[in-house]
Structure 1
Amino acid sequence: MELTASQIAYFIAILVILILLLMRKDIILPVIIAIFAIGLLATKDVIKAIQIIYTAILVSGIRLWHIIVIISLIIAMSKALDDIGADVILTKPFIRHLKSPTYSFWIIGLFMMLLSFFMWPAPAVGLIGTVLIIPSLKSGIDKVSLASIVSVFGFGIALSGDFFIQGAPSITAKAAGINTHQLVQNILPIWAVSSVVASVSLYFCVLYTSKHHPPSEYVETKPIHGRPVSFKSYTVSVIAVVLFLIDVLIMILFKIHSSGATALIGGTAIIVLIASAAIQENFLDKTRDYLREGFLNGMRTFAPVIIISAFFLLGETSMAKQVIGPHARGYLVDLGTYLSHHIPLNKYTASLLELAMGILTGMSGSGFSGLPLIGALAKTFSSAAFLNPALLASIGQLAAVWTGGGTLIPWSTAVVSAVIDVDSRKISKRNFIPAVLGLISAYIVTVILL
């Protein structure tokens, strides 16, 4: 297999973007230039290349729209609850338990992980993110650390295993030609070791930060018991908690997950927003204002994410065909095929290739988009080198989800960034060491087990 000019340009663009990220430079302009260059090389048509810039951004926006909507609704609901004093009410039960950074770290992390197992992390972060900000700050954890805890335990640890909903394992297993149960059994020890390594290393990072950079500026500007709350506010706050608990119960009993779980949380958020506005003066105007503010904040957060995702989604075959044309192929898919044809296979190289392909496909910002390729490569590599396909698929799945699921790269952490109001680049920087150490440990365990 020979690489085309557009494929080479795509790979060079990835390297340039990674270098700029390491230099802490903005990558929006390079991403737009890269989309144009790839479109021009693929079509040999300047007009078509100009159109591809718009089409790529449009398709990316359409794919992200459901996330933008749920986050915007949660931000709007959070603002409404904040105005009626619900933050004072809802944080009281947590204060006595979140006594220190250590207590806060493990309580918040494990709670996020458990919720994410049953309802996936995107709805979970909306449920607990805003409620836990003030108690965590009072305990000595800054907002960046809180965002990092939520993303690592939810979007990293819980989503990479996905043992209860089994969305990720089912996709990977199907492409690898094995059953889901077999994949889950094989991924469990790899997942356990990587999760422990990642969580413990993050714990020490957070502990170091809390000792040397206490979040006093946040605590002083927003005291917990700074204003009185009415009986109506208590009632709405309790109703909000009860409604979301009912949502969790419904998701578990009726096995509602993914887009269904997001829709349930989103609808509930609107109901809570309306209830919060109804006990205030000019509630009709308040309802409009909250929704407008929520969507303005949501779009402000996701605008750069849409453009960056437009480039990396070209790595998917379906996206490339939709944007460039029916003859196009996913550039990341082609890279995986190229590498597999030029590297001798054994348990070390096969595991490394699966790890690398998981990371590369995860760079699209979707931890799941590359799973079919991960499974297919595991099937191919296992046949060529007589290795366990489930173990190979496991390391690839972990790498893909940790990278693109919402932990390692900035444009995948937008959900947590929007809810907790933290720059996504800061979250990724804080997550980098724990995530990388987790993936390295996963690779070592995979090689040992093969």
Structure 2
Amino acid sequence: MALTAAHWVYLAGVLLIIGITVARKNVVIPAILATLLTAWVMTGSAITGIQAIFNASLTAASELFTIFLIIALVTALLGVLRAMKADQRMVTPFQRVMRGGWSAYAVLAVVTYLISLFFWPTPAVPLIGAILVPAAIRAGLPAIGAAMVIAIAGQGMALSSDYVMQVAPGLSATAAGTSTSAVADTALVLSLITGGVALVITGVMLRRLMRAPGDTNLEEWENTVTAAAQPVERTSRIAGVIAARLGFAKARAGTDVDAIAEPLTVVEDRVPVAAGVATGGGGGGEPPAEPLRPAGGGGGGGGTAGGDAPTSVPAGDAEEDDPRTVRLSKIFAVGVPVVFAVMVGYMALGKFTSLVPEIQGGSAAALVGGVAAVLVIVAVFALDGPTAALTTCGEHLVDGLVFAFRAMGVVLPIAGFFFLGNADFAPKILGLEDGQTTPGLLVDLVTAGEQFIPGNPLVMCFGVLLVGMATGLEGSGFSGLPLTGSLSGAIGPTVGMDPATLAAVGQMGSVWAGGGVLVAWSSVLVVAGVTRVPVIELARKCFVPVVAGLVISTLFAALLL
């Protein structure tokens, strides 16, 4: 079809967003303006263009809310575990394997890849985030490093081949007119090459950020999150910690320190809040290496009942001496990993046997979120008692939701713009009635550019790769596979290349870009959420390693396959 003015306006918006992202600036305003102009040109109505700004973000929110909810529930679980200090006990067994940052890096890569290969990354990442990420942080791996290795191994390597479930190879092969097994085998090789190169480059990037193992690493990581999510409560807690320490000094030494404690009432006006995931999520800047944090390292999710009192005393005093809290800490440090392990075993039974129904995709993510919610309820009832738990459970869940939207909400208007280019979502964004359709702007642009790809096999491979990456810009790694598969089946024989190889190359581009590594409005949100890093910063950091890996794997496909 002929390109219209709406296509060119949309293309200009895509290029503008990419350019501003590369320049390390916030792209929310450009995305909103591009949405307005594109919708205006598509419909000829400025009012519809203004309405599309809201509808696009609303559509993106409805599509991504599953990810937001998983982040919120896992954050709530970690909050209540932190309140009873079970989080530090839980990571203790992994210290034998994760003796340093590099061993933690390797363990995260292997475990993430294997679990994601069988169950897909979205349900796998929260499991890893709840158990292995705290252990890796304690071992000295920086949070951004944990996020990068999880994204590359899970959303990248495992999902781009999809070798076990073979949904992606099936889509590519059907469109290309070739066998699923041929595409799957080639995609597995290319995914391993891409991921291997990306992990090596990522390791080089992280070599100066590795830290010595220690509990302070874990405490700083947790308290930086609290600072980002609730700055006012955090500074209040600092005042409470200092006042409590003065109180202990008074009790032990018999000294009147009330006069000293009075000035603490104005400490909120003077204590700077450390930058965290919320402030960095929109346009750059990593969390500081040494964030300002309250002493003690405990706390239950930022000001919850049952968390304030324990955190107001120095570590090793009242809370550590409370036999009941210590007992609960030990029980949940063992119980939470066991519950998640049982859940993984149940999913494995469904995958490899007929004893239980198979659970995958969205159902697996729902199971992870539901289990996390149940664990939160059990933990708060055990820690705070039946009466207080009715309040503290809600507070932990609210803390999780606040964190999820503070850290990830900035991507909604960006995702909304790219959804506008998808024929499945555009009618809803434009407020059209049922049955009315709109062109798929992004697919039309990619299709129009096919004719400019030369017939050289090497150039053809890179052309299909770029087509795949372009279709992945909308944040769905699988939606572009029919296009790349069809293109591979049509032009592969004309240049003497196996359509299965070309389809696998296009699959690499589409899934690595849109499946959750290179664009911040994809499932990489889950990775950023569980590791407490800015999602746009994570996508930006992954760009060079992943693109380098894609270039190497595409060269391998063009020259050796």
Match of 1:406 in 2: 516
Q: How far does residue 82 in structure 1 lie from its aligned partner after superposition?
A: 1.5
- For 1:17-28, what aligned pairs fall within 5 Å after superposition? 17-28=17-28
1:251 aligns with 2:347: yes
1:270 aligns with 2:352: no
Aligned-residue RMSD, C-alpha? 2.3
Out of 375, 378, 383, the residue aligned to residue 488 of structure 2 is 378
Given that 1:194 and 1:438 are in contact with CA atoms closer than 8 Å, whether structure 2 keeps it comes out as yes
Q: How far does residue 352 in structure 1 lie from its aligned partner after superposition?
A: 1.8
Match of 1:397 in 2: 507
Residues 389-442 of structure 1 show CA distances to partners (whole Å, capped at 9, x for unaligned) of 111111111111111222122333221111111111221232122101111012
Aligned AA (2:331): T
Match of 2:108 in 1: 108
Match of 1:280 in 2: 383
Could you state the TM-score of these two structures normalised by the residue count of structure 1?
Answer: 0.93
Match of 2:451 in 1: 341
Separation in 2 of the partners of 1:269 and 1:41?
A: 45
Q: Which moved more, 1:328-337 or 1:339-348?
A: 339-348
Residues 287-332 of structure 1 show CA distances to partners (whole Å, capped at 9, x for unaligned) of 1111111122222233212211111122322123443453422222
- For 1:58-137, what aligned pairs fall within 5 Å after superposition? 58-137=58-137
Given that 1:182 and 1:390 are in contact with CA atoms closer than 8 Å, whether structure 2 keeps it comes out as yes
Given that 1:134 and 1:224 are in contact with CA atoms closer than 8 Å, whether structure 2 keeps it comes out as no
Separation in 1 of the partners of 2:452 and 2:135?
A: 53
Q: How far does residue 265 in structure 1 lie from its aligned partner after superposition?
A: 0.6
1:447 aligns with 2:558: yes
Given that 2:485 and 2:503 are in contact with CA atoms closer than 8 Å, whether structure 1 keeps it comes out as yes
**Identical aligned residues as a percent:** 31
Out of 288, 296, 299, the residue aligned to residue 405 of structure 2 is 299
Aligned AA (1:293): D
Match of 2:264 in 1: none
Q: How far does residue 19 in structure 1 lie from its aligned partner after superposition?
A: 1.4
Out of 305, 311, 324, the residue aligned to residue 417 of structure 2 is 311
Given that 1:316 and 1:369 are in contact with CA atoms closer than 8 Å, whether structure 2 keeps it comes out as no
Match of 1:427 in 2: 538
Separation in 2 of the partners of 1:187 and 1:422?
A: 30
Residues 357-404 of structure 1 show CA distances to partners (whole Å, capped at 9, x for unaligned) of 111111112222222222222222225444311111111111111112
Q: How far does residue 11 in structure 1 lie from its aligned partner after superposition?
A: 1.0
Separation in 1 of the partners of 2:514 and 2:165?
A: 19
User: Do the aligned partners of residues 218 and 340 (structure 1) sit closer, same or farther apart at CA in structure 2, a change above 3 Å counting?
Assistant: same
Q: How far does residue 53 in structure 1 lie from its aligned partner after superposition?
A: 2.1
Q: Which moved more, 1:355-364 or 1:127-136?
A: 127-136
Gaps in structure 2 of 5+ consecutive residues = 223-295, 299-314, 352-358
Given that 1:95 and 1:135 are in contact with CA atoms closer than 8 Å, whether structure 2 keeps it comes out as yes
Aligned AA (2:332): V
User: Do the aligned partners of residues 128 and 327 (structure 1) sit closer, same or farther apart at CA in structure 2, a change above 3 Å counting?
Assistant: closer
Aligned AA (1:300): R
Separation in 1 of the partners of 2:210 and 2:337?
A: 30
Give SS of 1:333's match: helix
1:417 aligns with 2:513: no
Match of 2:293 in 1: none
Structure with greater helix percent: 1
1:196 aligns with 2:203: no
Separation in 1 of the partners of 2:297 and 2:93?
A: 12
Q: Which moved more, 1:245-254 or 1:385-394?
A: 385-394
Separation in 1 of the partners of 2:213 and 2:390?
A: 41
Residues 221-271 of structure 1 show CA distances to partners (whole Å, capped at 9, x for unaligned) of 478995535222322332221211111111111132111110111111111
Separation in 1 of the partners of 2:397 and 2:216?
A: 29
User: Do the aligned partners of residues 186 and 134 (structure 1) sit closer, same or farther apart at CA in structure 2, a change above 3 Å counting?
Assistant: closer
Separation in 2 of the partners of 1:245 and 1:231?
A: 22
Q: How far does residue 14 in structure 1 lie from its aligned partner after superposition?
A: 1.2
Q: How far does residue 217 in structure 1 lie from its aligned partner after superposition?
A: 7.4
Aligned AA (2:149): I
Give SS of 1:409's match: coil
Separation in 1 of the partners of 2:185 and 2:150?
A: 26
Separation in 1 of the partners of 2:186 and 2:478?
A: 19
Given that 2:28 and 2:413 are in contact with CA atoms closer than 8 Å, whether structure 1 keeps it comes out as yes
Aligned AA (2:533): V
Aligned AA (2:464): E
Aligned AA (2:186): N
Match of 1:164 in 2: 164
Given that 1:145 and 1:430 are in contact with CA atoms closer than 8 Å, whether structure 2 keeps it comes out as no
- For 1:13-52, what aligned pairs fall within 5 Å after superposition? 13-52=13-52
Count of matched residue pairs = 449
Separation in 1 of the partners of 2:426 and 2:374?
A: 39
Q: How far does residue 28 in structure 1 lie from its aligned partner after superposition?
A: 0.7
Given that 2:160 and 2:187 are in contact with CA atoms closer than 8 Å, whether structure 1 keeps it comes out as no
Separation in 2 of the partners of 1:426 and 1:112?
A: 21
